[in-house]
């Protein structure tokens, strides 16, 4: 039976925060994508075909190149290894990879080999023609030896390996199997984005990432429902010794299947402009997440959100960490209170994502030791000034320094959980310093809110927020309500 619950957001954001420490070795078919846009206003007098008047052209990396592009755009390191042609298309790919900052020492240009390219012609955002220039040819023995040599040299620097098979020849004739064997001997996980019906060539890989149609073709039967997906995946796992299979299912999301367990991650509804390269984004993000410490279900949840972002873009697209964080937050809908407790890095990414959606972000802070009506009123007023409110919460050590050795009454975990459960609070971040200035600098809120017992001149962070174009708002407090007075009444045995 497939389980449908989503993982908690916090470990997902922790994994994303570690992307910068990950290096991925990418081997496969590198393709140049060319996008030509224009308008169609007439039919050719030479034949009954439309005439496209070109208005613009864009080049992008496709195939394994798009995998590399997504890895780099997410802040990680990528090592491309392949063989391409010593031609103009190959030169363009080398230049583009160099511009990304990728190490191109393992990308070999060979005379007599054609670099694959795909040209897409579109009018009014509708693709009208695709023109492919390619030659499907396995590696020669000399090319294969050089590729294996570069692969082995690079493997020591990599945390995980992706085989991006577009069927153009690089991974044919047992090359994929040889690379997988090398990875297994080295103890490195290897993911394969498969091509064709015969998955025996990927035997022993950690996982393969087919879409639903590819999964059915490999299993030899059509698959649609959850049970059919699971059965087909388990047949392939048993036949080819995969640890698990990640099956992408378009609008139905993604399924992660092992011999014993199956999980399904539902997709977030998005307007789809172009699915070009979405699979590259999915495997790149999945590999990064896995190498960054996420388990396979968490990694699939992150990759599923990434795929949802890029299908909303035109052309072979990539995404940023900020876009990914925003998509993950939206995919969970209203978060459980414990999931709204973030560290500073995750909160900063969330703030960027909110701002990119056109939302204003507010910030307030305090100890909030024993929650009372004054606190609730302050937070409600703060939330009325913005679309999203982040609350900076003094840590236990910080409260002790400010309030004395008998405080806090409630520890930071309990205080954070109570505050995060309030409808007016969208995120809680615990900070260790005596003031929230470092946190304010990191979050860059649009609105800074404090109680009217302060003046703007005495509000920590006011200058920084105002200089960045933001506002400082002072809200009225509820008279006679404070944690100190509440504690005093409790100690005196008094009541309201």
Q: How far is 458 from 470, CA to CA, in rounded Å?
A: 16
Q: What is the pTM of this model?
A: 0.72
Q: Identify the CATH class of 339-492.
A: alpha beta
Q: Identify the CATH class of 9-330.
A: alpha beta
Q: What is the 3-state secondary structure (H, E, C) of the chain?
A: CCECCCCCHHHHHHHHHCHHHCEEEEEECEEEEEEEEEEEEEECCCCCCEEEEEEEEEEEEEEHHHHHHHHHHCCCEEEEEEEEECCHHHHHHHHHHHHHCCCCCCEEEECCCCCEEEEEEEECCEEEEEEEECCCCCCCHHHHHHHHHHHHHHHCCCCEEEEECCCCCCCCCCHHHHHHHHHHHHCCCEEEECCCCCHHHHCCCCEECCEHHHHHHHHCCCCCCHHHHHHHHHHHHHHHCCCEEEEECHHHCEEEECCCCEEEECCCCCCCCCCCCHHHHHHHHHHHHHHCCCCHHHHHHHHHHHHHHHCCCCCCCCCCHHHHHHHHHHHCCCCCHHHHECCHHHHHHHHHHHHHCCCCEEEEEECCCCCCHHHHHHHHHHHCCCCEEEEEEECHHHHHHHHCCCCCCCCHHHHHHHHHCCCCCCEEEEECCCCCHHHHHHHCCCEEEEECCCCHHHCCCHHHHHHCCCEEEEECCCCCCCHHHHHHHHHHCCCC
The pLDDT assigned to 312 comes to 61
CA distances from 364 to 232, 233, 382, 385, 473 (A): 52, 49, 7, 11, 10
Inter-residue contact 160 to 22 (CB < 8 Å): yes
The pLDDT assigned to 352 comes to 87
The pLDDT assigned to 133 comes to 96
Question: Which token pair is 160?
Answer: 């995980």
**Residue-level length of the chain:** 496
Inter-residue contact 278 to 287 (CB < 8 Å): no
Q: How wide is the angle at C-alpha 349 spanned by C-alphas 265 and 248, nearest 5°?
A: 20
> Closest Cα partner for 72 from 95, 100, 107?
100
pLDDT tens string for the chain (496 positions)? 445 556 667 788 889 989 999 999 999 999 999 999 999 999 999 999 999 999 899 999 999 999 999 999 999 999 999 999 999 999 999 999 999 999 999 999 999 999 999 999 999 878 899 999 999 999 999 999 999 999 999 999 999 999 999 999 999 999 999 999 999 999 999 999 999 999 999 999 999 999 999 999 999 999 999 999 999 999 999 999 999 999 998 778 899 999 999 999 886 544 434 445 688 999 999 999 999 999 999 999 999 988 888 776 655 566 888 778 777 765 554 444 556 788 898 889 888 888 887 889 999 999 998 888 889 989 999 999 999 999 999 999 999 999 898 889 899 988 998 898 888 998 999 999 999 999 999 999 999 999 888 999 999 999 999 999 999 999 987 665 565 566 666 666 655 4
* Strands of 160-164's sheet in order across: 107-110, 77-85, 23-28, 160-164, 190-193, 207-208, 244-248, 254-257, 262-265
Catalytic residue (one of 159, 193, 274, 280)? 280
Q: How far is 269 from 267, CA to CA, in rounded Å?
A: 6
Q: How far is 334 from 426, CA to CA, in rounded Å?
A: 9
The pLDDT assigned to 279 comes to 87
Q: Which residue has the tokens 């509804």?
A: 269
The pLDDT assigned to 274 comes to 41
188 labeled binding residue? no
Peptide bond into 408 cis (omega under 30): yes
Q: How far is 202 from 411, CA to CA, in rounded Å?
A: 51
User: How far does the chain reach from its first CA to its final CA, in angstroms?
Assistant: 54
How many other C-beta atoms can be found within 10 angstroms of the C-beta atom of residue 108?
18
Active site includes 165?
no
> Closest Cα partner for 160 from 189, 183, 180?
189
Q: How far is 123 from 308, CA to CA, in rounded Å?
A: 24
Q: How far is 163 from 147, CA to CA, in rounded Å?
A: 13
304 labeled binding residue? no
Taking the CA atoms of the chain, what radius of gyration do you get in angstroms? Answer: 27
> Closest Cα partner for 256 from 268, 243, 269?
243
Q: Where are the domains of the chain?
A: 9-330, 339-492
95 labeled binding residue? no
178 labeled binding residue? no
């Amino acid at each position: 039976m497939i389980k449908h619950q989503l993982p908690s957001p916090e470990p997902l954001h922790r994994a994303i925060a570690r992307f910068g420490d990950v290096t991925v070795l990418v081997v496969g078919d590198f393709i140049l994508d060319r996008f030509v846009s224009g308008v169609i206003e007439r039919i050719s007098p030479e034949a009954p075909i439309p005439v496209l008047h070109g208005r613009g052209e864009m080049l992008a990396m496709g195939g394994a190149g798009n995998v590399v592009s997504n890895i780099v755009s997410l802040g990680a390191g990528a090592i491309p290894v392949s063989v391409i042609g010593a031609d103009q298309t190959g030169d363009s790919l080398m230049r583009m990879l160099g511009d990304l900052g990728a190490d191109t020492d393992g990308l070999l240009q060979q005379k007599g080999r054609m670099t694959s390219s795909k040209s897409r012609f579109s009018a009014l955002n509708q693709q009208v023609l695709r023109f492919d220039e390619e030659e499907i040819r396995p590696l020669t023995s000399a090319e294969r030896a050089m590729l294996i040599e570069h692969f082995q040299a690079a493997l020591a620097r990599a945390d995980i390996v992706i085989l991006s098979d577009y069927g153009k020849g690089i991974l044919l004739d047992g090359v994929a199997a040889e690379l997988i064997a090398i990875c297994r001997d080295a103890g490195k996980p290897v993911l394969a984005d498969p091509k064709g019906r015969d998955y025996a060539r990927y035997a022993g890989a950690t996982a393969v990432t087919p879409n639903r149609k590819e999964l059915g073709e490999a299993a030899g039967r059509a698959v649609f429902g959850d049970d059919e997906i699971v059965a087909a995946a388990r047949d392939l796992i048993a036949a080819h010794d995969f640890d698990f299979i990640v099956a992408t299912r378009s609008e139905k999301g993604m399924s992660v299947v092992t011999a014993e367990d199956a999980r399904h991650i539902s997709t977030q509804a998005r307007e789809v402009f172009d699915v070009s390269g979405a699979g590259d984004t999915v495997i790149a993000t999945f590999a990064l997440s896995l190498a960054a410490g996420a388990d396979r279900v968490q990694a699939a949840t992150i990759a599923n959100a990434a795929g949802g972002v890029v299908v909303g873009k035109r052309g072979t697209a990539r995404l940023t960490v900020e876009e990914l964080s925003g998509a993950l937050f939206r995919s969970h809908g209203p978060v459980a209170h414990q999931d709204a407790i973030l560290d500073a890095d995750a909160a900063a990414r969330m703030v960027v994502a909110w701002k990119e959606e056109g939302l204003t972000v507010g910030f307030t802070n305090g100890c909030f030791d024993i929650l009372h009506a004054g606190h609730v009123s302050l937070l409600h007023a703060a939330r009325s000034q913005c679309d999203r409110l982040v609350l900076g919460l003094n840590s236990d050590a910080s409260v002790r320094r400010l309030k004395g050795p008998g405080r806090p009454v409630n520890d930071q975990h309990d205080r954070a959980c109570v505050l995060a459960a309030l409808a007016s609070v969208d995120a809680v971040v615990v900070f260790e310093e005596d003031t929230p200035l470092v946190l304010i600098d990191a979050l860059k809120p649009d609105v800074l809110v404090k109680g009217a017992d302060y003046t703007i001149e005495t509000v920590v962070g006011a200058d920084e927020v105002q200089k960045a174009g933001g506002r400082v708002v002072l809200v009225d407090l509820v008279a006679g309500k404070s944690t100190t007075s509440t504690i005093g009444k409790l100690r005196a045995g008094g009541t309201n």
